[in-house]
Structure 1
Amino acid sequence: MYRDFKLRSALIQNKQLRLLPREHVYDKINGVWNLSSDQGNLGTFFITNVRIVWHANMNDSFNVSIPYLQIRSIKIRDSKFGLALVIESSQQSGGYVLGFKIDPVEKLQESVKEINSLHKVYSTSPIFGVDYEMEEKPQSLEALTVEQIQDDVEIDSDDHTDAFVAYFADGNKVTHKMDSQRELAEELRLYQSTLLQDGLKDLLDEKKFIDCTLKAGDKSLPCHRLILSACSPYFREYFLSEIDEAKKKEVVLDNVDPAVLDLIIKYLYSASIDLNDGNVQDIFALASRFQIPSVFTVCVSYLQKRLAPGNCLAILRLGLLLDCPRLAISAREFVSDRFLQICKEEDFMQLSPQELISVISNDSLNVEKEEAVFEAVMKWVRTDKENRVKNLSEVFDCIRFRLMTEKYFKDHVEKDDIIKSNPELQKKIKVLKDAFAGKLPEPSKNTEKAGASEVNGDVGDEDLLPGYLNDIPRHGMFVKDLILLVNDTAAVAYDPTENECYLTALAEQIPRNHSSIVTQQNQVYVVGGLYVDEENKDQPLQSYFFQLDNVASEWVGLPPLPSARCLFGLGEVDDKIYVVAGKDLQTEASLDSVLCYDPVAAKWNEVKKLPIKVYGHSVISHKGMIYCLGGKTDDKKCTNRMFTYNPKRGDWKDLAPMKTPRSMFGVAVHKGKIVIAGGVTEDGLSASVEAFDLTTNKWEVMTEFPQERSSIGLVSLAGSLYAIGGFAMIQLESKEFAPTEVNDIWKYEDDKKEWAGMLKEIRYASGASCLATRLNLFKLSKL
């Protein structure tokens, strides 16, 4: 029992907490930072009825278990990392101060309430997390004597404190007495608020002390002036005015939906409101009109959570219309993150000039090239050319022309018919041409004319340049070619040029032994993996399907494979995902079937079968074709056959066979050739490397890999070929050889025709699939 009363490690198995007797998990929060170092560590947070547990995502053994028995206080405090959950343990348990960063703030507040509630319940009825039996009669002293067992548990001294305390503004100087007083005051406030709320609702329900009626249409709603005045500056001013008393007793509200008004009034008395997509805008508008901040805030939070590509522009418009910066900024950031997708929508073409300016003037615009902004603006102009040409000059100032290539500027901007016919724009074109030649105009101090479109923004009397000369990169211009390593813990991007790693997304729901693919549109998908759903008795074996949302840094679940399979290959043409052959997970039969996922219809279909049944093969896509290479056939022997699939014709055909039959090997398209490396042959592991010339339909031998391996991750990135990890036969201490995973990185030197080691070990490659992708460094956290 003593061990579980101290702050110590918890037992984590497969990312799940091993529960103590009578322990139940009430909440599990991903993406929680443990602030015990300057950088912090990212992990998962468990809230149970016995304790609080945090473990690092990259290392399960790095964790801490905090039993309620030894918690002295639970608070939200400001730190150099922002608002954080701070847990102080009792002096008997070491006097620790531990901090955790939980985002967003709403989730942090919700978690603190839940922990406080469970802590109070625990204090009333403790659960020690151990099994015990009740004895009806006392045992003798001899029976109670137990042998003393020595263990290796070290007891921390009671004067120990954690360095994390230094991060907090108050320096942890507040005494325990003051903490207790604050806790008591908070409890009293909550109790009084609940009592008052319940009492007011009873008065309304029983129609007691009613002193006014709100009339909307043909419906009259009884109220109390005091409540309306306390909740709304509008009604406070109205009831305190010199207006006739009769008008105060019955307040007639024009152009008000009585059903919406009824919902708002009930909220003022009960703090409960039924918001949905159908009524939120009406409630929001009415709350804004009558200045009811509590309802206004609830609506803003609701709309922020509902932001989607189909409604973000409407929510942006609503935020601007009702002068709500919080909502407008949230919507604008959502649009900026997905600009290339949203600018093609019909709703984008209906934006007003000011609404358009609010979007394209944003530094956060997620575009790799400014050319995309120019093209979106000109398409918007041509949608209603007659009325929008007059606004083009103002919109023009928000385009950052100096971020374009000079060739594009000459070929597309200067030669645009609308721009050529506008004298005012021609003056700006001349200034831009000079800027490309290195001649900038003298900065202006005329802040009245400069306005929001200037390069320097709100700078008072500083020197200013016109907005169209702005050369500050958009956030989307920090995109870089990276190697994405996806395992069952996280998706980590590796930059081989800078030797840096970045966290892209947590991946606890991604099964092991999955397959992954990146499309021509830079969309990352994960398919399959070995996953057993013990609760699903009919179909316990599942092959899940996920897509990475790299803006939100999370995985989106898609329709799973119709039947679970493994050892298959993945291809992609025109955004459609192809799952080729493999093994059935239930029957273990080899497959020749090919599944195709259509993202528009969001469903799987079968297409033309592969000519042979095969598993452990490799599949690669290139220029609208899918190539299937090697693998093992029904007789469990390696094949050297190679097939190509044309989705437009719907047929497979043979190509020149590989020189060496193999399975479980790496494949990549590098400099127009299909390169394969390593794998399993009839003689064991292989180090051989071959390249297939797509133009001549011939194979050629390349320099062997330095070690015989299977399951190499082969990636062609920015003109370079990399080999990551795999399995090799490694000699153990027993002198026996066993297949062992290696997590190194090699680079193929094309000019020297040799492999060069880059990293001896990259831990994020353990159990990972490897992809070449483009990600925005601006949005990633460096590890």
Structure 2
Amino acid sequence: MLQNLKELRDTGTLCDITLVVGSREIFAHRAVLAAGSRYFASIYRSDYTETHASRIELGSLDAGGVETVVQYIYTGVIKLTLGNVHVVLAAATHLDVLHLKDYCQQFLSDNISLGTCLSVWAVADLYDMDELKVQALKFILDNFTKIITMEDVLELPMERLLELLLKDELFVDKEEALFELVVKWTKYDVVNRRATFPKLLASLRIPLMELEYVINNMKSEPLLNEFPECLSLTDEAVSYLMRPQLSDLPPTGLNTRPRLGTLKDVIVVCGGQSEAVLEDGSRWTIANVPALAYVIDEDRWVDLKGSPPRNPVEMFNLSDTVYVASRGNHDLRDTSTHRYRFFCYNTKMEYGARWVLPQGMELELPGVMSNMMRGGVLTAVTPQAMFLLDTLGWNSATRSHLRLMFCFDTITKRWQQLSNLPDDLIVGYLKPLVITVGEDLYILNGTTVFKYNQSLGWTRDSFYSLPWHDEVTVLQTWLKANYSGQHYGTLPESSGDLMDITARIRRGFPEPKLEGCSVCVYKKDIYVIGGLKDYFMVDTVYKYDCKEQQWHKLCKLPTPRSCAMCCYAKLPYKAVMH
């Protein structure tokens, strides 16, 4: 019947109503429209002017949107796209078509992205879609670090921008970025927006900014000098930052409380073993200890909520997200393959941060997992990819180890196996050192270096010809090779410029007998965490200041720890609160 009704409409047969939208005429049947639209049903069940008219004006709507809605009434089928969903939603709402508004809402919900979230938020508010509005707003708050760089944010109405700036959950690297956004937004249409600048500035948490930034950057902004109240805000903030204990600003006030979404620089430590000392003085080793985060600018440790995966084997930071790799099969009876799973620390979950397994971050490899090799999984990260080299697979038929290497592309979210591995890529039973410089991957076995570039493939080189762009790379490599329990390869005695660097580290490192420590880099400073000394675990964290070229004893771990993994990351304040 629907098909026959559609054919009648397409041929103009028995059509008794014309919808006029601008210059376009849309022909239909009164009975069909009344059956599919509450708007038309109310017209034809009452005695309005339009009830007996042969033409109805719908000038406020889009002609394409009305045509799509009428087609849906006749066929029950609709094709929504990002290009037509807004006009279809407007027509469906005005004509009160059953279920179509819900379909549009579900389509918008499924297509929230960086490019659509601001428009979806506005549409949800316009049509009173409360659930969609909450979902879009959460996406905006969680991804504001990226949204802040987009042109669309400059077209936001003042009320919407102010609503975002007042949110405690706003994810942003630093409060300074919000000030720069407010200035940029105001100057985007300075004639009409100048008067709103003081109100937007008052929504910022200026006392959370760096003192030098407030004095040198904010106070030199011409917009501030136009409004005395703005200068008063900055002067108050400077007073607080210079003497926070004596300031009149309440320490728990809105302007001084960190946003829950402010990204903090941290060092995440996971895995390894810890140690407990009982009342009788005996020591017990503890496995599967919780993950920790060291908040660098606050000099404190905090337990990360949510249990990390058991027995992690690698840890790294990929696309500003912390990942921990674990290996093994869930089904112990399955001996034909072994599996790697990469859990990420998701800080944007509704019920708190947790370690979760993202879709696509699981890799199943052929071969029985062998314990004969001390090597195993090796991971390295470049800005565009993550590499995994596996030597644990054992081929029982050929009685040999399988050597497999995969690359995970951060853009396509897909794994790809790399072919043509060098025959001598893995030497003996040692676990080589893996580092990255830019987009290039280096695997070091003594003086032999294997280099992989996605464009050029594999090449072989010498350690002494590596493109060491700064001494930080050298220091980190040397420390990992000599002190980390995760790497068993050794670097050769360096020559030329590298000799002075490694010799200085050998002389200056406070604990030459330390083993099994964790090593990572933050802003060219190197952190050495925990380890073993004379068979006892230590709780000391050392820092190499690259600018001063000196070692410092930084702090202590909550408990002694050894053979752990660590990496630098950015976590929201709500994940590392006291």
TM-score normalised by the chain length of structure 1: 0.47
Tell me whether 1:394 sits opposite 2:191 in the alignment: no
Q: CA deviation at 1:769?
A: 7.1
Tell me whether 1:619 sits opposite 2:445 in the alignment: no
Cα distance in 1 for partners of 2:478, 2:209 equals 28
Tell me whether 1:569 sits opposite 2:361 in the alignment: no
Tell me whether 1:319 sits opposite 2:128 in the alignment: no
Are the structure 2 counterparts of residues 610 and 345 from structure 1 closer, same or farther at C-alpha, using a change threshold of 3 Å? farther
Cα distance in 1 for partners of 2:554, 2:158 equals 57
Are the structure 2 counterparts of residues 220 and 235 from structure 1 closer, same or farther at C-alpha, using a change threshold of 3 Å? closer
Are the structure 2 counterparts of residues 492 and 220 from structure 1 closer, same or farther at C-alpha, using a change threshold of 3 Å? farther
Q: Secondary structure at the match of 1:215?
A: strand
Cα distance in 1 for partners of 2:105, 2:96 equals 14
Cα distance in 2 for partners of 1:430, 1:780 equals 30
Aligned to 1:502: 305
* Preserved CA contact (<8 Å) 2:17 2:55: yes
Q: Residue 260 of structure 2 is aligned with which of 466, 472, 475? A: 475
Count of matched residue positions in the alignment of Structure 1 and Structure 2: 488
Q: CA deviation at 1:395?
A: 2.4
Give the aligned residue type for 2:162: I
Aligned to 1:738: none
Give the aligned residue type for 2:268: L
Q: CA deviation at 1:308?
A: 1.3
Structure 1 unpaired stretches of 5+:
1-199, 444-454, 457-464, 534-538, 631-639, 657-666, 683-687, 706-711, 729-743
Q: What is the percentage of aligned positions where both structures have the same residue?
A: 17
Cα distance in 2 for partners of 1:501, 1:432 equals 32
Q: Residue 211 of structure 2 is aligned with which of 381, 384, 406? A: 406
* Preserved CA contact (<8 Å) 1:595 1:606: yes
Q: CA offsets per residue over residues 211-268 of structure 1, 9 Å max, x none?
A: 985735222144368756xx74x55765676523644776443354566446646877
Give the aligned residue type for 1:702: P
* Preserved CA contact (<8 Å) 2:176 2:209: yes
Aligned to 1:551: 348
Q: Secondary structure at the match of 1:517?
A: strand
Are the structure 2 counterparts of residues 541 and 483 from structure 1 closer, same or farther at C-alpha, using a change threshold of 3 Å? closer
Are the structure 2 counterparts of residues 426 and 268 from structure 1 closer, same or farther at C-alpha, using a change threshold of 3 Å? same
* Preserved CA contact (<8 Å) 1:579 1:596: yes
Cα distance in 2 for partners of 1:258, 1:266 equals 12
Cα distance in 2 for partners of 1:518, 1:694 equals 30
Cα distance in 1 for partners of 2:423, 2:85 equals 56
Equivalent runs, 1:150-189 vs 2, <5 Å: none
Aligned to 1:215: 19
Tell me whether 1:747 sits opposite 2:539 in the alignment: yes
Q: CA deviation at 1:518?
A: 1.6
Cα distance in 2 for partners of 1:392, 1:313 equals 21
Give the aligned residue type for 1:747: D
Structure 2 unpaired stretches of 5+:
9-13, 273-287, 295-299, 350-355, 370-374, 466-473, 543-551
Tell me whether 1:517 sits opposite 2:517 in the alignment: no
Q: CA deviation at 1:306?
A: 1.7
Moved more, 769-778 or 350-359: 769-778
Q: CA deviation at 1:421?
A: 4.7
Aligned to 1:174: none
Tell me whether 1:703 sits opposite 2:513 in the alignment: yes
Equivalent runs, 1:564-713 vs 2, <5 Å: 567-578=376-387, 599=410, 613-614=425-426, 616-620=431-435, 628-630=443-445, 640-641=446-447, 652-654=461-463, 669=476, 676-678=483-485, 696-698=501-503, 700=506, 702-705=512-515
Q: CA offsets per residue over residues 598-656 of structure 1, 9 Å max, x none?
A: 646878797998895226323245899976455xxxxxxxxx55759798999844269
Cα distance in 1 for partners of 2:53, 2:290 equals 64
Give the aligned residue type for 2:209: M
Cα distance in 2 for partners of 1:300, 1:745 equals 56
Q: Secondary structure at the match of 1:219?
A: strand
Are the structure 2 counterparts of residues 598 and 376 from structure 1 closer, same or farther at C-alpha, using a change threshold of 3 Å? farther
Equivalent runs, 1:69-84 vs 2, <5 Å: none
Q: Secondary structure at the match of 2:483?
A: strand
* Preserved CA contact (<8 Å) 1:568 1:582: yes
Aligned to 1:357: 162
Q: CA deviation at 1:300?
A: 2.1
Cα distance in 2 for partners of 1:241, 1:352 equals 41
Tell me whether 1:280 sits opposite 2:85 in the alignment: yes
Q: CA offsets per residue over residues 21-40 of structure 1, 9 Å max, x none?
A: xxxxxxxxxxxxxxxxxxxx
Task: Specify the structure having the higher radius of gyration (Cα).
Answer: 1
* Preserved CA contact (<8 Å) 1:713 1:723: yes
Q: CA deviation at 1:294?
A: 4.2
Aligned to 2:547: none
Equivalent runs, 1:293-332 vs 2, <5 Å: 294-322=99-127, 324-332=129-137
Q: Secondary structure at the match of 1:502?
A: coil
Give the aligned residue type for 2:28: S
Q: Secondary structure at the match of 1:223?
A: helix
Tell me whether 1:721 sits opposite 2:533 in the alignment: no
Cα distance in 2 for partners of 1:670, 1:527 equals 21
Are the structure 2 counterparts of residues 527 and 585 from structure 1 closer, same or farther at C-alpha, using a change threshold of 3 Å? farther
Q: Secondary structure at the match of 2:48?
A: coil
Q: Secondary structure at the match of 2:268?
A: strand
Are the structure 2 counterparts of residues 278 and 651 from structure 1 closer, same or farther at C-alpha, using a change threshold of 3 Å? same
Q: CA deviation at 1:676?
A: 2.5
Aligned to 1:758: 559
Give the aligned residue type for 2:434: V
Cα distance in 2 for partners of 1:746, 1:290 equals 72
Q: CA offsets per residue over residues 109-150 of structure 1, 9 Å max, x none?
A: xxxxxxxxxxxxxxxxxxxxxxxxxxxxxxxxxxxxxxxxxx
Q: CA deviation at 1:338?
A: 0.8
Cα distance in 1 for partners of 2:190, 2:52 equals 51
Cα distance in 1 for partners of 2:460, 2:190 equals 47
Aligned to 2:149: 344
Q: CA deviation at 1:474?
A: 1.4
Cα distance in 1 for partners of 2:107, 2:568 equals 37
Q: CA deviation at 1:697?
A: 2.5
Equivalent runs, 1:366-381 vs 2, <5 Å: 366-381=171-186
Q: Secondary structure at the match of 1:555?
A: coil
Cα distance in 2 for partners of 1:295, 1:352 equals 28
Q: CA deviation at 1:334?
A: 0.6
Q: CA offsets per residue over residues 547-566 of structure 1, 9 Å max, x none?
A: 77653655143798999998
Are the structure 2 counterparts of residues 757 and 717 from structure 1 closer, same or farther at C-alpha, using a change threshold of 3 Å? farther
* Preserved CA contact (<8 Å) 1:211 1:249: no
* Preserved CA contact (<8 Å) 1:668 1:714: no
Q: CA deviation at 1:717?
A: 9.3
Q: Secondary structure at the match of 1:696?
A: helix
* Preserved CA contact (<8 Å) 1:518 1:773: yes
Give the aligned residue type for 2:320: N
Give the aligned residue type for 1:551: K
Give the aligned residue type for 1:614: I
* Preserved CA contact (<8 Å) 1:674 1:694: no
Q: CA deviation at 1:319?
A: 2.8
TM-score normalised by the chain length of structure 2: 0.61
Aligned to 1:28: none
Cα distance in 1 for partners of 2:449, 2:571 equals 32
* Preserved CA contact (<8 Å) 1:212 1:248: no
Q: Secondary structure at the match of 1:362?
A: coil
Q: Secondary structure at the match of 2:170?
A: coil
